[in-house]
Chain A
């Protein structure tokens, strides 16, 4: 347990540094998931209500993590995803147990085999089944019912086999099983986060066509991989990169694109409108995707989206599933923006005489505001490409409903009330 605390503290410190220690939301998401995994594995589980104990533990730490850097929504997303996983696994175990009981009532003599079969059935598949019985089916499960249950069993059954041998009625083995399953599922989540770039990039060929002109703003690892994947598939196209003031990460992106052999044009942010008529598609990354399909993205993105709309250019947002946030942007808990240091805009020394508080009314006439993010409303977005495929903005809330349970939306408030 002290180990966990040290890990948590270390991570909290990193989060507090605001991006100077952990770069990007993917890394943050992965580290959050890994931290929660070790929290879960170290957490002692009581005989009754094991899921409740795990949820409490994760919530307590999740609250600290979210408070440490409320701007990085990926942290909260992962905390909620893990909570959702615990709930789902718990549910699947209960239904499995109920199923087992039912089965044992029907056939007494062959119950061992049956139970074996039952428990080797993947937790996720059971969860999906439970979802479909206990809740109205989501569009996702309806559409992709077969692939999900077909794809997942191999991964979770490997661990499930040995555990499953023991009696499901046995409490201790069940508790171990719950924890084990949760950890397995979190491992999958981590795997998803790690591979999200490839998953998204795989779809590149479907979207980028020969001789197209793509415009992007700032720098995003996802966008880079996406474009590069299209290039790998022998698509020939050109990329316009808007530099993304004031951090000018577009410069870095342009450099990387050129290094990978893509025809690249660098433009200023203010030239976006002039260039947009030559562009076939805008492909950008996001900081977070909200439940209504709105996007929180680096500053200047709304400008690009409006320009794209004006010229009817498709505006495509790439986002790994860890960036899908179950909150709505009007929610006061969501810290939508962050004001960074004004020194990114201008040199303090040059303007020190404008910043003199020693005369006049004591307040300077010059204020410098440097917001990090823009909000792009859902109506300006043509398509979201996540690791689960392409989606319409209006569909995002359904996708999000699959990843999160409604009980976890407010991690903080519940926890503070508990304190």
Chain B
């Protein structure tokens, strides 16, 4: 057996060698279509139906992929089925794909495969791929022409045998606020050689909290120029040479196509395999990775970016649909009440009934749905045979086949209702919840790569789907039956899944609902705070916006960053001062230390005065105290002890004013305890000869013209200032 295989492999290798360019051109193009995403992002829906068969604008996703492959000139497609393989195979057998001339679809089935890497290893063993092939997953929508990319790939391959893969990329700007692309995937960093288009670096899991990405210095040493992009989207369409399969076999730990394989190849410089990119401009390509991309790709299809794969063009057995004004797609036999309002960019499937005064906009309604009156449907996806009774509200939700919503039920944004769930009367399903007839798997797979591996391929699940309310109640495992019993209102059937992985915090990222306004505001605020500290040192880097550096990360490298430095300087001075207090260091020594700090940070004496004063007041606040008067006493003590230190920096009147301003700032922000004591402490400072009367008067004068809010402390110390004025006049 082994020998046989080896011989076969040798034969193919020999065939490969003997191929001249003409043969290459004549060889039919093959494709591997992974009909399994090996992720759990579409749970709970994918527990009952494989992802590739989920309807995307009323057509199962796999049809988009197959239609594209056929149009792109692929002659033979191997559909790799894993989870729910039977459903996929049954579907394909009944579809028209098996009867196409010049386009063969073959299925490869396996149950114990848990990753794309395993799938490719299995395909390699079967020895069916003989030349360059397209690697794609069954949830990809595209209308690009493959010829040019293929040509480039073949030419590169001819010149350099190590160019094993061409990755299709597309420009798409990620949101600067959420650091995710419009498809809901994480911001992707790619380093590409601008001349050869070679991919040098690929990072899709960049840590934004840290705000840095690390590039190997060798990249810069070896390549004359590198362009680093964060506005490229990975289309997950790859043109691969047959070596890719053997690479997967050689490196048995490769699981994920990108995280392991691509990164592995990029890091591994022993073999010297290279990956290249091909950017598409006018054509469309996107992969449905999560609920957000489901929503967005659906809308792109409705907006016709995927032409000719749009609802009104029959590309794969979809029902005849007509495009009407304002982007309304309507199939035949729709019953619609005269008073119902169907808004723009809506698709309505065949045989659907819509009741009076219902409003539908930006939504996709499947076939045979019944929608009652006064229903509001906004930005939602209803699959087939859904029943919505009167007065329901649906905003940005996905509702699977056979769901029944009783009158007055409300779905908040981001809800996903899996197959045949029943929502009780006037029940409000909270935002981002997932509801299924099946219970959430209690044993949570630690490996998030695992798709729900059901070797019985759905037979068990089917019985449960058919179950009525009683059956599914009975099905519940005993220990969790009552505790977990979800309330879906009277007559409701199904379980609300508790949110796992990432928790509520991250739910909005991948939900079908748009990101709520307040979340965006919150995020942009957080970003602004970050930015504020960074802005100055960004000048050098801001042109290449990808390298966002945080203040914490730039640790004093940049001396020109004055604001940053002043913060550090203040901290250093405070630390020095506290140490001095604790260890009873002599005042002279402290002065020396602060001076050296001042020199190293290149600060003025006013800065020193401010910092020292700040540290002193901070110490006063930190010293335990029960009342304002006690605090005042503490402050007075500290000022008395350390007045020499402070005075050494008060050479000019400006520094004294600086101290008052600093104090004012503290009272407003960091040490609010002082605010009632402002006038008294000012008095103490005056008494101790730290502040000259001129300084106080100058400060009062300056503040005259300020805003009302700024004058709080001036007014508080009005009497004192008045007294000073009179005193000085007397002197005169």
Contacts of B99 in A (CB 8 A): 9
B345 touches A363 (CB 8 A): yes
Minimum CB–CB distance from A233 to chain B (whole Å) comes to 41
Contact string against A for B residues 285-311, beta-carbon threshold 8 Å, 1 for contact and 0 otherwise: 000000010011001100111111000
Which A residue sits closest to B184, measured CB to CB?
A358
A367 touches B303 (CB 8 A): yes
B299 touches A363 (CB 8 A): yes
Known contacts A361-B514, A362-B396: A17-B305 contact under CB 8 Å: no
Minimum CB–CB distance from B537 to chain A (whole Å) comes to 26
Q: Which of B180, B282, B283, B320 has its CB near the most chain A CB atoms (within 10 A)?
A: B282
Known contacts A340-B304, A341-B143: A349-B175 contact under CB 8 Å: no
Contact string against B for A residues 358-381, beta-carbon threshold 8 Å, 1 for contact and 0 otherwise: 111111100110100000000000
Q: Please count how many residues in chain A sit with their CB below 8 Å of the partner chain's CB atoms.
A: 36
Minimum CB–CB distance from B665 to chain A (whole Å) comes to 37
A46 within 8 A of B: no
A113 within 8 A of B: no
B396 touches A358 (CB 8 A): no
A-contacting 9-mer, from B166-174, B203-211, B574-582: B166-174
Known contacts A349-B172, A358-B184: A342-B304 contact under CB 8 Å: yes
B281 touches A349 (CB 8 A): yes
Contact string against A for B residues 179-211, beta-carbon threshold 8 Å, 1 for contact and 0 otherwise: 010101000000000000000000000000000
Contacts of A356 in B (CB 8 A): 175, 182
B304 touches A341 (CB 8 A): yes
Contact string against B for A residues 331-373, beta-carbon threshold 8 Å, 1 for contact and 0 otherwise: 0000100011111100111101101111111111001101000
| Interface residue from B307, B378, B379 paired with A340 (Cβ < 8 Å) | B307
A16 within 8 A of B: yes
Minimum CB–CB distance from B180 to chain A (whole Å) comes to 8
A358 touches B292 (CB 8 A): yes
B182 touches A352 (CB 8 A): yes
| Interface residue from B173, B314, B520 paired with A67 (Cβ < 8 Å) | B314
A359 touches B281 (CB 8 A): no
A349 touches B307 (CB 8 A): no
A6 within 8 A of B: yes
A362 touches B514 (CB 8 A): yes
B75 within 8 A of A: no
Minimum CB–CB distance from B693 to chain A (whole Å) comes to 57
Minimum CB–CB distance from A387 to chain B (whole Å) comes to 31
Contact string against B for A residues 54-94, beta-carbon threshold 8 Å, 1 for contact and 0 otherwise: 00000000000001100000000000000000000000000
B367 within 8 A of A: no
B452 within 8 A of A: no
B304 touches A17 (CB 8 A): no
Contacts of A340 in B (CB 8 A): 304, 307
B101 within 8 A of A: yes
A363 touches B308 (CB 8 A): no
A359 touches B304 (CB 8 A): no
- Per the 8 Å Cβ criterion, residues 244-272 of B in contact with A are none
B390 within 8 A of A: no
A67 touches B320 (CB 8 A): yes
B284 within 8 A of A: yes
B515 within 8 A of A: yes
B313 within 8 A of A: yes
- Per the 8 Å Cβ criterion, residues 289-345 of A in contact with B are 335, 339-344
B386 within 8 A of A: no
Minimum CB–CB distance from B45 to chain A (whole Å) comes to 20
Minimum CB–CB distance from B397 to chain A (whole Å) comes to 11
A367 to B192, CA, bound (A): 32
Known contacts A347-B282, A356-B182, A358-B515: A363-B379 contact under CB 8 Å: yes
Which A residue sits closest to B279, measured CB to CB?
A349
Contacts of A352 in B (CB 8 A): 171-173, 182
Minimum CB–CB distance from A170 to chain B (whole Å) comes to 41
A18 within 8 A of B: yes
Known contacts A339-B304, A367-B303: A350-B313 contact under CB 8 Å: no
Minimum CB–CB distance from A330 to chain B (whole Å) comes to 15
Contacts of B322 in A (CB 8 A): 335
A232 within 8 A of B: no
Contacts of B513 in A (CB 8 A): 362
Which A residue sits closest to B395, measured CB to CB?
A362
B282 touches A348 (CB 8 A): yes
A10 within 8 A of B: yes
| Interface residue from B143, B171, B515 paired with A359 (Cβ < 8 Å) | B515
A67 to B305, CA, bound (A): 22
Minimum CB–CB distance from B381 to chain A (whole Å) comes to 12
Contacts of A370 in B (CB 8 A): 304
A361 to B182, CA, bound (A): 14
A342 to B320, CA, bound (A): 22
Known contacts A342-B304, A357-B514: A9-B175 contact under CB 8 Å: no
A343 to B396, CA, bound (A): 27
Known contacts A340-B307, A341-B305, A362-B379: A348-B284 contact under CB 8 Å: yes
A355 to B175, CA, bound (A): 12
A214 to B467, CA, bound (A): 74
A348 to B173, CA, bound (A): 10
- Per the 8 Å Cβ criterion, residues 190-212 of A in contact with B are none
A343 touches B305 (CB 8 A): yes
B282 touches A10 (CB 8 A): no
Contacts of B323 in A (CB 8 A): 339
Minimum CB–CB distance from B259 to chain A (whole Å) comes to 24
Known contacts A349-B170, A363-B299, A363-B345: A358-B175 contact under CB 8 Å: yes
Contacts of A360 in B (CB 8 A): 514, 517
A370 to B310, CA, bound (A): 14
- Per the 8 Å Cβ criterion, residues 2-23 of A in contact with B are 6, 9-10, 13, 16-18, 20
B296 touches A357 (CB 8 A): yes
Contacts of B101 in A (CB 8 A): 6, 9-10, 13
Contacts of A67 in B (CB 8 A): 314, 320
A349 to B345, CA, bound (A): 21
Minimum CB–CB distance from A188 to chain B (whole Å) comes to 30
A349 to B144, CA, bound (A): 14
Minimum CB–CB distance from A19 to chain B (whole Å) comes to 9
B362 within 8 A of A: yes
Contacts of A343 in B (CB 8 A): 282-284, 305, 307
Which A residue sits closest to B103, measured CB to CB?
A13
Minimum CB–CB distance from A246 to chain B (whole Å) comes to 11
Contacts of B231 in A (CB 8 A): 349
Contact string against B for A residues 214-242, beta-carbon threshold 8 Å, 1 for contact and 0 otherwise: 00000000000000000000000000000
Minimum CB–CB distance from B100 to chain A (whole Å) comes to 8
Known contacts A352-B182, A356-B175, A358-B175: A18-B308 contact under CB 8 Å: yes
Contacts of A13 in B (CB 8 A): 100-101
B497 within 8 A of A: no
Contacts of B308 in A (CB 8 A): 16-18, 20, 341
Which A residue sits closest to B231, measured CB to CB?
A349
| Interface residue from A20, A342, A344, A361 paired with B303 (Cβ < 8 Å) | A342
Minimum CB–CB distance from B688 to chain A (whole Å) comes to 57
A343 to B281, CA, bound (A): 9
Contact string against A for B residues 118-157, beta-carbon threshold 8 Å, 1 for contact and 0 otherwise: 0000000000000000000000000100000000000000
Minimum CB–CB distance from A72 to chain B (whole Å) comes to 12
B315 within 8 A of A: yes
A342 to B345, CA, bound (A): 15
B71 within 8 A of A: yes
Minimum CB–CB distance from A351 to chain B (whole Å) comes to 9
A395 to B233, CA, bound (A): 56
A367 to B184, CA, bound (A): 21
**Could you show 9 A-B contacts with beta carbons less than 8 Å apart?**
A9-B99, A18-B313, A352-B173, A356-B182, A358-B178, A359-B520, A361-B514, A363-B299, A364-B299
What residues of chain A have their CB less than 8 Å away from a CB belonging to chain B? 6, 9-10, 13, 16-18, 20, 67-68, 335, 339-344, 347-350, 352-353, 355-364, 367-368, 370
Interface pairs A-B: 5 shortest CB-CB: A349-B171, A341-B307, A362-B514, A343-B282, A352-B172
Other A-B contacts than A13-B100, A343-B283, 4 sampled, CB-CB below 8 A, are A340-B304, A348-B170, A348-B172, A359-B514
